Structures are given as structure tokens and as C-alpha cells.
């Protein structure tokens, strides 16, 4: 039986395909869109740090000033163990920068984590929920090195109800497609660069039988 066309950007394989190639202008556009609008960090260039063997899971990039950004899509329930893993990922990225014989300030750059989750924290009803180390008065720790931003995908549907797709920003449209795929309403938007890119990447992905096979295996947890 012929498999249906892939359309779920929450799938690790398709999500990676959207962002993974920093030599692809469309991937670079999407990477900078997420970094600049979720973290409020301007960047001219992004360099993907993943090796070819790291096909699935997070996408690690470095920007002009040396900061490292880890972008992760969680398409499963966010358990206590999952939160621990995310903490560990951030610490591992810090430790991996340490070079023997050099001062930490010479080699260690701040870590930013962008984590897309398909749930909403009922205590934090917002699209982007960002955390940094702070004291009991809410003062951010000086020289803190890890910032973690959760993008709560289901909340984008609340924004759509409030303003409609035509009034949504490019970052909101990108998050809407991550949550809902390319639907008829998205197809009707012809002036959005984000929509054009994500439709193009989806079409190219579906033309690759190997990628589609990986997509369905990943969805069935066969990896």
C-alpha cells in the first residue's frame, strides 16, 4: 500500500530536513527566523554543528558571536526524565567547549536551547516560555550560561482564533505549520516567505523515498 505524503513537521526526520543544511538558503532562513524571534538574538550567519551521523533529534548551530543554540522537537509526552535529559544536553554542550590549559572565558560560549513541545504548561499559558537562572527576587544570575525556551505548539491555535492566519507574523505562521502541517488555509496564503519555504521543503522531502521511509519508521518508533 502506498504511504500517504508526509506532512507532520513534528516528526524528527522532517524537522531536521527543514533546518539541517546551513548551505541551503531556505534552511538558513528558517534557522535565523527561529533564533531571532524566539531568543531575540540577531545573527547574520548560522553554522550547523551536527555531524552526518546525527541525522535524528536536535539541531545544534553556532552563530556569529560564538553562542551555541540547540533546537529540539519533542513529539512525545514531556516527562520528568525528558526534562532531565534536556538539562543534561545543555550541560553537555557547556562541558564540550572546555579546553585544557585555557581559561573558561576563552573557550566557553553561552548555550541557548529552543525546545518545541506539543503540550501546554497550564501554569504558563503563552507561546514561548523562557527560563534562566534567577534568585528568589527574580534577578537573573550574572553571567548565566544556559537559557532554555519552550515553544508550546498547541498555543498557536489560540493565537489563530484571536487574529486569524492572515494577520499572523512569519514566526507565528512557522509555528502554526509545525503544529498543524500544510493545510488548506495555509495553502491559500501566497505572500508569506515562510509558507513558500515550508511548502517547498515539504514537496522536496516527499520526492525522496529514502527520507519518507525514515519518516515513517521514526513515527513508528522503529529507530
| Parent domain of 129 | 12-218
pLDDT tens digits, one per residue of 36-63: 999 999 999 999 998 766 656 799 999 9
Please indicate, yes or no, if residue 177 is contained in any of the structural domains: yes
Q: Is residue 223 assigned to a domain?
A: no
27 found inside a domain? yes
Question: Is 2 part of a structural domain of the chain?
Answer: no
Answer for the pair 46, 63: CB distance below 8 angstroms, yes or no: yes
Helical (H) or strand (E) element with 127? none
Beta bridge partners of 72: 115
Pull the grid cell for residue 76.
512525545
3 state SS of 180? helix
Q: Are 111 and 68 in contact (CB under 8 A)?
A: yes
| Any domain includes 63 | yes
Q: Do the domain assignments include residue 3?
A: no
- Reported as a single tens digit per residue, the pLDDT across 151-172 is 999 999 999 999 999 999 999 9
Q: Residue 19: pLDDT above 70?
A: yes
Over the Cα atoms of the chain, what is R_g?
Answer: 18
- Number of structural domains the chain divides into: 1
Whole-structure pTM value: 0.93
Average pLDDT over residues 175-189: 96
- Does 6 fall in a domain? no
| pLDDT (tens digit per residue) in 101-118 | 999 999 999 999 999 999
Is residue 7 assigned to a domain? Answer: no
**Residue 70 forms beta bridges with which residues?**
60, 113
The residue to which cell 528568589 is assigned = 136
The CA-atom distances, in angstroms, between 197 and each of 6, 24, 91, 147 are 16, 11, 33, 28
Amino acid at each position: 500500500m502506498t504511504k500517504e505524503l508526509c506532512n507532520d513537521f513534528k516528526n524528527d526526520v522532517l524537522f531536521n530536513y527543514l533546518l539541517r543544511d546551513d548551505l541551503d538558503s531556505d534552511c538558513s532562513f528558517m534557522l535565523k527566523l527561529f533564533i531571532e524571534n524566539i531568543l531575540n538574538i540577531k545573527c547574520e550567519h548560522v553554522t550547523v554543528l551536527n555531524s552526518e551521523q546525527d541525522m535524528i533529534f536536535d539541531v545544534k548551530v553556532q552563530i556569529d558571536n560564538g553562542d551555541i543554540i540547540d533546537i529540539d522537537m519533542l513529539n512525545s509526552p514531556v516527562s520528568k526524565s525528558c526534562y532531565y535529559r534536556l538539562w543534561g544536553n545543555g550541560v553537555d554542550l557547556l562541558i564540550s567547549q572546555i579546553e585544557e590549559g585555557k581559561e573558561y572565558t576563552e573557550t566557553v560560549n553561552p548555550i541557548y536551547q529552543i525546545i518545541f513541545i506539543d503540550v501546554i504548561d497550564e501554569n504558563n499559558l503563552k507561546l514561548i516560555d523562557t527560563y534562566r537562572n534567577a534568585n528568589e527576587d527574580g534577578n537573573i544570575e550574572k553571567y548565566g550560561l544556559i537559557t532554555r525556551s519552550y515553544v508550546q505548539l498547541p498555543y498557536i491555535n489560540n493565537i489563530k482564533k484571536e487574529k486569524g492566519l492572515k494577520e499572523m507574523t512569519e514566526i507565528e505562521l512557522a509555528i502554526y505549520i509545525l503544529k498543524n502541517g500544510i493545510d488548506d488555509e495555509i495553502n491559500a496564503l501566497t505572500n508569506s516567505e515562510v509558507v513558500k519555504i515550508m511548502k517547498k521543503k515539504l514537496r522536496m522531502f516527499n520526492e525522496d523515498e529514502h527520507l519518507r521511509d525514515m519518516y515513517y519508521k521514526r513515527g513508528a518508533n522503529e529507530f
